[in-house]
């Protein structure tokens, strides 16, 4: 037996004792209960065990707290109801007949013009009385309310009772064809109106027409006037003439001695009469004024105020019977003159008549003009118009003249830059021109420059040498620019930075226009084969500092310049242009894709080309080298024609920024390079090749020449930036660097048009310039004993850990 047995026995003993005590107590309570009684409310006594036994043992039912109605059924409730109207207020009063009326609830359903509503908890008082007031605003329809009594404990129902409240009558016209039809009326009160104008004629019988007996088209049968009566021209519908109405416009303000038009052409006559005898006259004028009106008998006259002050001018006109007058006030002032163009530059040829320079006023009236200093011999200046003309007879270095436009309020000025040279350079043989203008030919013209993408100072120097034969210039360069520059990605990511090259360029001395036609137009489709295409990628010309000028496309075929300025995202190969839109390709070949005018940019004190040559957007780039004059030459194309910077002469010999005539095709961005652009004649200043014929400071007699462009005529990208085809005859096989053409020969374009990640090299180029193969992430393998020792220690450590 376990230790639990004694405990269990003790437990049994304890429970037995407790149970005995509990049973004994229960017997005592049962005996007490048998002797208890319950006193009913009426005084009767019954045994207490009959209380709440489910039966009503007391006559008054007071012995039962909850009555079981299944044992004491009552008759179904009976419902009564009537409609009561007290001074227009209507409600339903009712009564429920039932043994226990307070256990009954009234259910109701009401239908009216406002819809259907219902309720199920309408209570009665202790005698069964109840009432209901319908809450309905719209009484335009009958209101039907159905009631039913519900005995809740026994779930019994009375019969339905329906009370009908008839709709309230709304008096009015119920005929929808009447003028005063009332859509809310329910009772037609006989007020319908069928004669809207109250002329005694029913609307249905009215006849429209002209009812004025004085009118030409009077209709005697018309009862309603339709407003279309016609009268004689001199009639005003009343038989009386209407005076004309004068209109001279608002008061005017002008400069003294400035022509003003007096305009009364908006005057009119309501009767349609012709206006006669118009007349203008000055009725008040400032002291000392003698100005007279020109053509005063016209509706539009002219007047030029001659002194400062107010002029009151009256206009008169009549129609043969009546007249009108109206005045205006002209206030004459004097403002300082302002003249345009602000800056003019011409290089004149000695003994040759110049193109006239004229000015116009965009400010106050000009009383006189003057120029300072005096013009050179042979040229004249008109002191009234400011016209400069004549034939220079003496040489003049570049000189700035100031033109003054004067009146009593002050002077406006403009600048004229003139130079007089001998006939200029020979446009039929440009050899001397190129000998004079190519940079870097002497030690004094070879500045020390730095590649800003390398560490330290590189101390590069540009080098150019030129030799001549009977037909060509042979230009040898090392490809280094004459300004600080940036190699960009080929250097910073590929380690292949700008280095000296050995370019040899062969350029015609005597450029001639290409008239042969029938050329392949793949790279210049807009020329339609009229001209030789410049390469889309690679060298197209040489800058006068010896650096190649490249076509617009990058390696993958997009517009490199447009991508640089955010026109599209170049997602095929990283392309980034540096200062002056130049960068380096693999093999150390630095070149420009646009601009290149850094060769003529000279920093002021405290400036540097990296921070102060503004390339923020195409619209500001030309300003970097603007000095009010025609741009200098920046390069030579392979056809021998010169390439000038951004600024040139327009048809009026004014200095303007030259604009390309190319624009993007609809929906294009430049992502597809040349194919995304179209030529639009007249959009800009230049032709399909991006050049034009005209004078330059070096060739005042005129020469065909190209311009660098950063904008087109709409202010968008200035594609193709240098040129896209050759207006002259170009021998592409003889032009270029490394001795064999195109600024790099057959292998040119490594890192742009071919190379790792772009495409295979041209035949014979092997892996790239200098026989370089594809860039490899690991050039060769080497075995270091220390590596083997480390590997052995790692293995031993791993084995030791495993043993544990």
- Domains in the chain (CATH in brackets) are 36-72 (4.10.400), 78-165 (2.60.40.10), 169-198 (no CATH), 252-333 (2.60.40.10), 339-421 (2.60.40.10), 433-766 (no CATH)
Q: Cα(first)–Cα(last) distance of the chain, in Å?
A: 53
Mean pLDDT, residues 101-128? 90
- For residue 575, the 8-state DSSP code is -
**Any residues with CB less than 8 A from the CB of 174 and at least 6 apart, and which?**
181, 182, 185, 186, 187, 188, 192
d(CA 621, CA 709): 10
Mean pLDDT, residues 685-693? 97
**Any residues with CB less than 8 A from the CB of 433 and at least 6 apart, and which?**
425, 426, 642, 698
Confidence of residue 789 (pLDDT cuts 50, 70, 90): low
Calculate the average pLDDT of the chain: 84
Beta strands in 408-518 (DSSP E): 410-421, 448-449, 460-461, 464-468, 472-477, 503-508
Confidence of residue 276 (pLDDT cuts 50, 70, 90): very high
SS3 789: helix
Q: Which of 611, 613, 609 is nearest to 623 (CA)?
A: 613
pLDDT number for residue 794? 54
How many C-alpha atoms does 763 have within 13 Å on its Cβ side?
Answer: 0
Number of Cβ within a 10 Å radius of residue 271: 20
Contact present, 301 and 227 (Cβ < 8 Å): no
pLDDT number for residue 54? 60
Going from the C-alpha of 658 to that of each of 467, 513, 540, 548, 630, the distances in angstroms are 32, 21, 20, 22, 10
Greater model confidence, 65 or 105: 105
Greater model confidence, 334 or 1: 334
Check pLDDT > 60 for residue 6.
no
The predicted-structure confidence for 436-460, as pLDDT tens digits, reads as follows 999 999 999 999 999 999 998 999 9
pLDDT number for residue 768? 38
Lowest mean pLDDT among 23-37, 98-112, 682-696: 23-37
Handedness of CA 346, 351, 353, 359 (dihedral sign): positive
pLDDT number for residue 603? 87
Q: How far is CA 301 from the centre of its chain?
A: 46
Confidence of residue 213 (pLDDT cuts 50, 70, 90): confident
SS3 491: helix
Lowest mean pLDDT among 21-35, 253-267, 329-343, 689-703: 21-35
């Amino acid at each position: 037996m376990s230790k639990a047995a004694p405990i269990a026995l003790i437990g049994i003993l304890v429970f037995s004792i407790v149970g005995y005590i509990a049973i004994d107590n229960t017997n005592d309570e049962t005996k007490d209960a048998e002797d208890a009684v319950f006193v009913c409310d009426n005084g009767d006594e019954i045994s207490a065990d009959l209380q709440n036994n489910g039966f009503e043992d007391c006559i008054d039912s007071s012995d039962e707290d909850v009555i079981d109605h299944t044992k004491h059924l009552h008759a179904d409730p009976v419902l009564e109801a009537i409609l009561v109207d007290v001074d227009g207020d209507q409600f339903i009063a009712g009564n429920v007949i039932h043994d226990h009326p307070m256990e009954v609830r009234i259910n109701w359903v009401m239908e009216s013009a406002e819809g259907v509503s219902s309720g199920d908890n309408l209570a009665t008082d202790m005698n069964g009385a109840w009432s209901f007031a319908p809450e309905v605003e719209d009484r335009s329809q009958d209101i039907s309310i159905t009631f039913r009594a519900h005995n809740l404990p026994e779930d019994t129902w009375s019969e339905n009772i329906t009370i009908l409240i008839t709709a309230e009558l709304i008096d009015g016209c119920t005929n929808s064809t009447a003028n005063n039809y009332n859509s809310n009326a329910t009772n037609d009160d006989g007020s319908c109106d069928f004669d809207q104008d109250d002329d005694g004629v029913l609307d249905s019988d009215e006849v429209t027409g002209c009812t004025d007996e004085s009118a030409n088209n009077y209709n005697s049968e018309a009862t309603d006037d339709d407003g279309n009566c016609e009268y004689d021209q001199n009639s005003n519908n009343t038989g009386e003439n209407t005076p004309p109405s004068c209109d001279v416009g608002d008061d005017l303000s002008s400069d003294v001695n400035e022509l003003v038009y007096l305009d009364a052409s908006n005057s009119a006559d309501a009767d349609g009469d012709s206006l006669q005898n118009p007349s203008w006259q000055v009725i008040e004028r400032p002291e000392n004024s003698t100005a007279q009106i020109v053509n005063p008998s016209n509706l539009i006259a002219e007047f030029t105020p001659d002194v400062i002050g107010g002029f009151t001018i009256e206009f008169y006109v009549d129609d043969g019977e009546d007249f009108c007058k109206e005045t205006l006030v002209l206030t004459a002032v004097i403002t300082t003159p302002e003249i345009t163009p602000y800056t003019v530059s011409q290089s004149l040829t000695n003994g040759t008549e110049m193109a006239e320079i004229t000015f116009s006023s965009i400010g106050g009236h000009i009383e006189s003009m003057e120029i300072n200093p005096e013009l050179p011999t042979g040229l004249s200046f008109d002191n009234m118009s400011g016209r400069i003309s004549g034939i220079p007879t003496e040489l003049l270095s570049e000189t700035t003249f100031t033109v003054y436009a004067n009146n009593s309020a002050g002077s406006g000025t403009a600048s004229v830059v003139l130079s007089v040279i001998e006939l200029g350079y020979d446009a039929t043989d440009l050899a001397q021109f190129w000998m004079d203008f190519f940079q870097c030919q002497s030690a004094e013209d070879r500045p020390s420059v730095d590649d800003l993408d390398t560490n330290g100072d590189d101390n590069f120097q540009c080098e150019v040498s030129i030799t001549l034969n009977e037909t060509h210039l042979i230009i040898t360069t090392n490809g280094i620019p004459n300004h600080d520059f940036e190699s960009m990605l080929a250097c910073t990511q590929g380690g292949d930075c700008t280095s000296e090259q050995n370019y040899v360029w062969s350029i015609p001395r005597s450029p001639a226009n290409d008239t042969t036609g029938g050329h392949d137009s793949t790279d210049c489709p807009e020329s339609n084969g009229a001209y030789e295409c410049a390469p889309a990628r690679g060298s197209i010309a040489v800058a006068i500092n010896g650096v190649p000028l490249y076509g617009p496309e990058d390696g993958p075929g997009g517009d490199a310049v447009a991508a640089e300025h955010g026109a599209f995202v170049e997602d095929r190969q990283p392309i980034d242009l540096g200062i002056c839109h130049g960068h380096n390709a693999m093999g150390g070949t630095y070149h420009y894709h646009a601009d290149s005018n850094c060769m003529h940019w000279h920093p002021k004190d405290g400036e540097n080309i990296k921070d102060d040559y503004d390339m923020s957007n195409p619209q500001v780039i030309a300003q970097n080298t603007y000095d009010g004059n025609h741009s200098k030459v920046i390069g030579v194309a392979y056809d021998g024609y010169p390439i000038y910077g951004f600024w040139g002469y327009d048809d009026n010999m004014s200095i303007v920024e030259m604009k390309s005539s190319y624009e993007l095709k609809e929906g294009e961005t430049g992502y597809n390079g040349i194919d995304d652009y179209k030529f639009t004649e007249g959009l800009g200043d230049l032709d399909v090749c991006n050049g034009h014929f005209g004078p330059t400071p070096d060739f005042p007699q005129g020469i065909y020449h190209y311009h660098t462009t950063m904008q087109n005529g709409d202010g968008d990208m200035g594609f193709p930036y240098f040129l896209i085809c050759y207006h002259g005859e170009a021998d592409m096989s003889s032009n270029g660097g490394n001795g064999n053409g195109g600024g790099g020969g057959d292998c040119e374009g490594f890192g742009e048009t071919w190379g790792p990640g772009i495409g295979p090299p041209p035949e014979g180029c092997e892996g790239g310039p200098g026989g370089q193969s594809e860039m490899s992430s690991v050039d060769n393998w080497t075995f270091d004993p220390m590596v083997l020792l480390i590997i052995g220690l790692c293995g031993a450590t791993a084995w030791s850990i495993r043993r544990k």
